[in-house]
Structure 1
Amino acid sequence: MPARDDRAMGSGTVTAVITLSCVVISLMQTLIVPIIPKLPQLLHTGAANASWAITATLLAAAVVTPIAGRLGDMFGKRKVILASLVLVVVGSVFCAVSDSLVPVVTGRALQGLATGVIPVGISFLRDVLPAERVGGSVALVSAALGVGGAVGLPVSAAIVQYADWHMLFWLSAVLGAVCLALVAVLLRESPNQSPGRFDLVGALGLAAGLVCLLLAATKGSGWGWTSGSTLGLFAGGVTVLILWGAYELRVEQPLVDLRVTARRSVLFTNLASLLVGFSMYATSLVLPQLLQSPSGTGYGLGQSTLAAGLALAPSGLVMMAFAPLSARITARHGARTTLLTGLCVIGAGYGVGLALMSEVWQIIVMSMIVSAGVGIAYAASPALIMGAVPVTKTASANGVNSLMRSIGTSASSAVMAAMLAAMSIQVGPVSVPTEQGFRMTYVVAMLAAVVGVVATLLIPRAQPATDRSGIPSPAPAASR
């Protein structure tokens, strides 16, 4: 099918379709949070087995992002977006009609595989929008990732409270089908492609290494951090990734161009993105527990699951509200300054949180400050990446950047869960983190933001001339 310029039908339509698709994909991450405690009963299995309904999505999302990016560069970004949305619908239906472990885990894995929409969608915007609209649109889509997670939590909690839990997945199936129809009807293929041979060995090697590392990180607290399974997976993952890296440097058309990834601007942008993901996820994991801790502890706020979700919902809207500011900072001062600003705001938010922990409104204020910083920072990373790599590699490079954010959230989940478990007290039949435990997670998240600031300062200040998007224009391919 010949490429058609999507500007003809309006940049706003393109941005709206990609943004909605990314919101739906991000919704998959928090969709089952309200039913996590009930999963063993709902799926007729043990707690360890039920946790695979969460782990499967995480592993699939981490593995697919760099692969989907490469496929988008090779075969067309619209095709990859369509295929990913089909996976959302199929995976959701699997879960919606099931009451047992294996089909639900399979469906959740398929939902995770749809995460490739995010990096590919961002790169699609760069390909088809007018230059002056790219910065604002990328900022909006990046902020939408937080909206899906934050708004999805209270919506999911309300559904679980007032309807059958299967409705969660029927809702995601309908939303996925709507996005699929919109992409199929309204978008046309991007003109920028880089045909070649798909690196199947590289894809399998990367998948194996990531699964080993992330599986050890997510299951380590249950298995024991010094257990043979955990240490073996960590060692195996590192070994596989070292061998994978050696192979990728030798193959003619690698899945991930490590020489491009090792450029200083790309390397430190990815490191900063990892730390943004680490800092952001702490609010998703820690704040609901603080809000729902029994008030009898003296520091818990005694909120229901639904009330806790509603308290955190404004944070997603704040991310969206700060997207235009992020775009303006990038256009005027560059994406490096935007990323630096976002990380500083995140760190300040956790600092405020250390002083404001005793009332629900204080938690809301703290989460909104952190979310504002995440909203500012999230849009900067794709801009930095797209300004440092050839146009024909933007999807695969953004895929690696999304992978780094996923690794950051996975590491945050493991670290924060381990800290809260280590500093907890027994309150009736449940174990509740101590006040000191909650405070320590704030400190660790704030330190991650500080390290992110250092990494951002190491990104080269000098960039090629920028266009009106505020995104640096890559140097000609011949100079590379």
Structure 2
Amino acid sequence: MPSTTTDRGTRAQFATLAAITIVTGVVSSLGAPLVPTVATEQHVSLSTAQWVLTAALLAGAVVTPVVGRLGTGRLRRPVLLGGLGVVLVGTVLSALPLGIGPMVAGRALQGVGMALAPLAFAVARDLWSGPELLSRLSLLSVATVSGAGLGYPVSSLVAEHLGISGAYLFGAVLIGTATVLAVRHLPAAPDGAPQPVDVVGAVLLCTGTLGFLLALSQGERWGWTDAPTVATGGSGLLLVATWVRWSVARSRRGRPTLVDLQLALRPGVRAPNAVTVAISVSLYGLFTLVVVLVQADGSAGFGLDAGLAVTGLALVPYAVASIASNRLALVMARGVGARLLLPLGCLVFGSSLLLLLGWHDTLGQAFLAMTLGGLGGGLTFSAMAMLIVPHVTPEETASAMAFNQLLRYLGFSVGSALTVALLAAYGGDAAAFRATALTMAGICLVAGALATLERTGAAGRAR
């Protein structure tokens, strides 16, 4: 029997798009709660095990704008199906007992899934219009966040009973199911040539960021001033700088770039972009600190010695609070204006880290810190589009938001690697835990102060 039609799209097609966004969210969350357990099972340091999270985030940062350009016009369906296939291969590879290297490589392939949600949104725009489209996009947005939130406790529960391999095999089953639905129900995209891709720019950004993060995560083991750390980190920064120059030069010649960097420092755009980096770094700082806290056995002076299932539950309050905070942000934007959301969100999020710094002796305190973090993160991220879009033309909107998304993923990657590096550099004990939380809170609060200063300066210029 054919599916019931709603506007031009069918319910089966919407269920398929929802499955893609939820499942890729679940699979992307297979890193955060599992890091300490991976370190124990694979007999590696915490900084090395953290790459099961960092690798996926870094891949998502670079792949998202590339897939966004490839997935235009007639290539949207094959790119979506191909992306699901890559994620499936990655989950299977991570599940195999081949060691930490293949597991990290598999996680990098899973990072491609982060680029598929925007394509699902694009398919929805092809299938629905008007109020029906807004409803569908809203539901898909919630599905993206709830997918990650659902993935934390479910994957942790599976891992506690079936091990790390079992968690990734569980992810493979989910991705396989979503792929079958996509093959059956995903419509062909309208005709149109795909946009050209800046391959050189993508390679420069990926290798440069990888070098910097590798030096950051391994600096304690290699020696912060020794040749391998300096050479790897310095080469990475040099490649990133080369990517910036390459992208600006191509943009001035009218050639396609990964993202349009000339929009980044435009008044009204630079503050949201700066806060995006800070809040993203701090966000994965909070995630990592809570995961380490919940699973640590107390021998270093801190830790709750709880299992994987409890770790997953500890991350759920963030997802729930961020969804509620998104609604609150819309109400506040209509009442007091969107620009106040940036400093307020940074203040609330910074407070979550300060709370964790002072009180981390019970699960309730960890849950409360994650709830505050979700409220602050939701306020901040909800404000980005509201603040950026009025300062760019309609033709520049996609590029401006793509750059903001890129900054978000890069911030996640840096926060993931930096937190573990700081814990080790500060000594790995309870004092190090507090110092790391204070550092992350400082990053967030400074960004909020800078956003406030720009807001004040803009108000002064307006008068």
Same fold (TM over 0.5): yes
Q: Which of the numbers 357, 365, 369 marks the counterpart of 1:366?
A: 369
Counterpart in the other structure of 1:9: 9
One-letter amino acid matched to 1:281: Y
Q: Which of the numbers 437, 443, 447 marks the counterpart of 1:448?
A: 443
Work out whether 1:439 is the aligned partner of 2:434: yes
Alpha-carbon distance, 1:277 to partner: 0.8
Secondary structure of residue in 2 paired with 1:322:
helix
Counterpart in the other structure of 1:419: 422
Work out whether 1:260 is the aligned partner of 2:256: no
Alpha-carbon distance, 1:389 to partner: 4.4
User: In structure 1, how many angstroms separate the alpha carbons of the residues matched to 2:138 and 2:458?
Assistant: 21
One-letter amino acid matched to 2:216: A
Alpha-carbon distance, 1:285 to partner: 0.7
**Could you tell me whether the CA contact under 8 Å between 1:356 and 1:366 is conserved in 2?**
no
Q: Quote the RMSD (CA, aligned, Å).
A: 3.9
Work out whether 1:114 is the aligned partner of 2:113: yes
Alpha-carbon distance, 1:160 to partner: 2.1
Alpha-carbon distance, 1:374 to partner: 1.3
Q: Which of the numbers 394, 401, 404 marks the counterpart of 1:401?
A: 404
Work out whether 1:169 is the aligned partner of 2:171: no
Q: Is there any run of 5+ residues in structure 1 with no aligned partner, and where? A: 425-431, 463-480
Alpha-carbon distance, 1:226 to partner: 1.9
Counterpart in the other structure of 2:230: 231
Secondary structure of residue in 1 paired with 2:305:
coil
TM-score by length of 2: 0.80
Work out whether 1:275 is the aligned partner of 2:271: no
Counterpart in the other structure of 1:152: 151
**Could you tell me whether the CA contact under 8 Å between 1:66 and 1:397 is conserved in 2?**
no
1:406-437 per-position Cα deviation (integer Å, ceiling 9, x unaligned)? 2222332333223322344xxxxxxx521x32
For the structure 1 residues 198 and 330, does the alpha-carbon distance in structure 2 shift closer, same or farther, using more than 3 Å as the test?
A: same
Runs of 4+ in 1 over 6 A off after TM superposition: 10-13, 43-51, 123-129, 131-140, 189-194, 459-462
For the structure 1 residues 42 and 369, does the alpha-carbon distance in structure 2 shift closer, same or farther, using more than 3 Å as the test?
A: closer
User: In structure 1, how many angstroms separate the alpha carbons of the residues matched to 2:297 and 2:218?
Assistant: 27
Counterpart in the other structure of 1:475: none
1:206-229 per-position Cα deviation (integer Å, ceiling 9, x unaligned)? 333222223323333332322222
User: In structure 1, how many angstroms separate the alpha carbons of the residues matched to 2:191 and 2:220?
Assistant: 44
Superposition pairs for residues 117-132 of structure 1, below 5 Å? 117-121=116-120
Most deviating of 60-69 and 360-369: 60-69
**Could you tell me whether the CA contact under 8 Å between 1:32 and 1:156 is conserved in 2?**
no
TM-score by length of 1: 0.77
User: In structure 2, how many angstroms separate the alpha carbons of the residues matched to 1:166 and 1:50?
Assistant: 15
For the structure 1 residues 29 and 341, does the alpha-carbon distance in structure 2 shift closer, same or farther, using more than 3 Å as the test?
A: same
For the structure 1 residues 313 and 258, does the alpha-carbon distance in structure 2 shift closer, same or farther, using more than 3 Å as the test?
A: closer
Work out whether 1:246 is the aligned partner of 2:241: no
Identity level (%): 29
Counterpart in the other structure of 1:428: none
1:56-87 per-position Cα deviation (integer Å, ceiling 9, x unaligned)? 33432232123223334576656544432222
For the structure 1 residues 334 and 216, does the alpha-carbon distance in structure 2 shift closer, same or farther, using more than 3 Å as the test?
A: farther
User: In structure 1, how many angstroms separate the alpha carbons of the residues matched to 2:335 and 2:20?
Assistant: 29
Most deviating of 54-63 and 16-25: 16-25
**Could you tell me whether the CA contact under 8 Å between 1:208 and 1:237 is conserved in 2?**
yes
Secondary structure of residue in 1 paired with 2:164:
coil
Superposition pairs for residues 301-450 of structure 1, below 5 Å? 301-330=304-333, 335-391=338-394, 394-424=397-427, 433-434=429-430, 436-450=431-445
For the structure 1 residues 222 and 154, does the alpha-carbon distance in structure 2 shift closer, same or farther, using more than 3 Å as the test?
A: farther
